[in-house]
Amino acid sequence: MRIAYQGEPGAFSEAAARRVAPDAELIACRTFEEVFASAEGGPAGYGVVPIENSIGGSIHRNYDLLLSHQLPIVAEVELPVVHHLLALPGVSMERVKRVYSHPQALAQCERFLQRLTGVDIIATYDTAGSAKMIADERLEDAAAIASARAGEVFGLVSLASGVQDYSDNVTRFLVIGRRPFTDSVPDKTSIVFSLPNEAGALFKALSAFALRGIDLTKLESRPLQGRPWEYLFYVDVAAAHDEVPCARALAHLGEFALTLRTLGSYTSWKTRESRQPDPFEVVS
C-alpha cells in the first residue's frame, strides 16, 4: 500500500498516514494538490490530508480540492498534535529572532508566540519543512514549530515543548483513494450541496436529516466559485449513505438542492479506534 501526504518526513501528516497504516510505503508531496494528484492517477493508491483542527479550525483548501477531484473519502483518522519549538543544538531562546512554521501551526501556538519579543513570525509551506530549512541552512538565529519527530529527523533540539495554546490539540485527517480502504462497515457520510437563495432553504435542507434522527457532526460553508455571495455546504452525518433513513434524507434533499454530491461513506475514527488497538504511538 502507498499513501501520499503533504510535507517532509516528520510532518504531522506523515504521522497521520502511519497511524492509518503503519506498514504502508509513504510518498512525501510538497502541496495538497500533489497529494490529490498522486492518489488520483499517480504512484499512490491513497492520500492523507488534514481537514480540521480543534484549535485552528478548517483547512479550507482541502474542502475545495475534495470538490474539484473525483476521489472519494474512504477513511478518517484523528491525531493528537504536540508542537515543539526546534532549533540547532547550542542555540538559546535569546538568540532566536525568527520562527518558521505552517500557518495552521502558527495559529495553534498564537499565545506562545505573542510572548516572544523582537521575533519575526514567518509562515512556510510545512512544519517539518521549516525544521529542514533551519537544519540545511544552519540558521542559528531561527527556530521552527514542528513535531518532536521532525527534530529527530533533522537533528534539532527542543527549546520548548507543548507550545500549542491548548493541550487537547487534535487534527482530523481524511483518507482519499480510488478503492475502499478497509472492509469495515461505514457509519459516517460526507456530502456537499448547494441551495436556492431563498428564505428557509438551509433549514429545509438540514431538517431532512433532523426529522429522521440523523446527527450532523460537521457543517461547513464555502464560497461557490463564480457566483459571489452564494455558497456550497459541506455536511458530515453520523450514518452510512445506504442506511434507509440516510438514503431517504439524501433523496429528500436532492428534490430541492441545486446540486448534491456524496463525497464518501466510511467508518468514523471513533468507531474504528474502539474496535481495534491503535498500532501507532504518537511521538510527542
Residue 275 pLDDT: 55
- Helix, strand or coil, per DSSP, at residue 57: strand
In terms of DSSP bridges, do strands 25-29 and 2-6 run parallel, antiparallel, or are they unpaired?
parallel
Q: Is the pTM of this model over 0.85?
A: yes
Q: How many helices (H) and strands (E) does the chain have?
A: 10, 15
CB environment 23-41: b (16+ within 10 A), e (fewer): ebebbbbeebebbbbbbbe
Looking at residue 283, its pLDDT comes to 38
Sorted by where each starts, the structural domains of the chain and their CATH numbers stand as 2-80+169-181 (3.40.190.10), 84-161 (3.40.190.10), 188-266 (3.30.70.260)
- The sign of the torsion formed by the CA atoms of 261, 266, 269, 274 equals positive
Known catalytic residues are 171, 173
Per-residue pLDDT of the chain (284 residues; tens, 9 = 90+): 999 999 999 999 999 999 999 999 999 999 999 999 999 988 999 999 999 999 889 999 999 999 999 999 999 999 999 999 999 999 999 999 999 999 999 999 999 999 999 999 999 999 999 999 999 999 999 999 999 999 999 999 999 999 999 989 999 999 999 888 877 899 999 999 999 999 999 999 999 999 999 999 999 999 998 889 999 999 999 999 999 999 999 999 999 999 999 999 999 998 766 655 444 334 33
pLDDT confidence of residue 164: 95
Q: Contact at 8 Å (CB) between 260 and 254?
A: yes
